[in-house]
Amino acid sequence: MLSKINTAVSFIQHLYAPKPQVGIVLGSGLGSFTSEIVVEKEILYSDIPHFPISTVEGHSGKLIFGELGGKKVVAMAGRFHFYEGYGTDEVVFPIRVMKFLGIETLLVSNAAGGTNKHWKVGDLMIIKDHISQFTPNPLVGKNLTEFGPRFPDMSEPYKKVLIDKAKQIAATKNIFLREGVYFGVTGPTFETRAEYKMIELLGGDAVGMSTVQEVIAAVHMGLPVFAMSVITDIGIRDEENTITHDEVLQAAKDAEPKLTYIFAALIAQL
């Protein structure tokens, strides 16, 4: 694993020498954030040794290097989901590569289903905590101390200082933010009524098929994380309610400008 990461890192550094300070993972329908970046280099996943290749609709599959808010950034346009058939090692591979490239902060976005019954489609949620116990943990297996400790502390996976900064940024622009717990699932099925109800009962405000494994790998390596969900659908338990991927992508697109503003302003303030 370590040698694969080192090979990928050397390959990238050969093509693009500057050290990125911030890593960004963009969720379904949220990829146009990259237009904020003054692009210096793009590298296709398919060109990087050992990198998995993205297959899901709405994702393009490249690393974008450049500048935003006076910082060097690297953005993943397209991420790897467990439901695509990737092992957890593959899902978190790019996070480890970005850390070894030098990033000091990780920003993550995703599209998620709302399980908090007071919420609406289009709401933006700061992830203040997550529940990952329903998905395979990427740290299962031999621990590599080059990444981090065997039993990483998870008391603050989403950094409070970054959450506070984001709230201030949103307040100055009158952007309404939710704050809640992201409940990780494997997918690819959306949840049944009974499952949405279970998630709500267990303390999830939103549910999604990404993020938790990436964040675990980041926290393992000591990387401060900030993450936001766009609520793209509501898991209503008592009424007729169906969800399509197209609806998820559309709702994400509609909310994207607000999310983009917060991410860009946060990066500028890091």
The nearest distance, CB 151 to ligand HPA, in angstroms, is 29
| DSSP β-bridge partners for residue 43 | 63
DSSP states of 191-239? PPHHHHHHHHHTT-SEEESSSHHHHHHHHHTT--EEEEEEEEEE--SSS
Measured CA to CA, the distance from residue 59 to residue 180 in angstroms comes to 25
Which of 135, 233, 255, 263 is the binder for ligand HPA (CB under 6 A)? 233
Q: Which two tokens stand for residue 13?
A: 């550094």
Which CA distances in Å does 71 have to 74, 88, 112, 148? 10, 30, 28, 26
Judged by CB under 6 A, does residue 109 bind ligand HPA? no
The nearest distance, CB 31 to ligand HPA, in angstroms, is 15
The nearest distance, CB 268 to ligand HPA, in angstroms, is 29
Q: Residues 164-203 vs ligand HPA: string with x where CB under 6 A? A: ---------------------x-x--xx------------
> Which residue, 76 or 103, is less far from ligand HPA as judged by CB?
76
65 and 17 Cβ atoms separated by less than 8 Å? no
Measured CA to CA, the distance from residue 82 to residue 112 in angstroms comes to 16
Judged by CB under 6 A, does residue 112 bind ligand HPA? yes
> Which residue, 27 or 157, is less far from ligand HPA as judged by CB?
27
Q: Which stretch binds ligand HPA (CB under 6 A): 5-13, 84-92, 109-117, 119-127?
A: 109-117
Judged by CB under 6 A, does residue 209 bind ligand HPA? yes
Which of 166, 170, 177, 248 is the binder for ligand HPA (CB under 6 A)? 248
Determine whether 118 is exposed, middle or buried from the number of CB atoms within 10 Å of its CB (0-12, 13-18, 19+): exposed
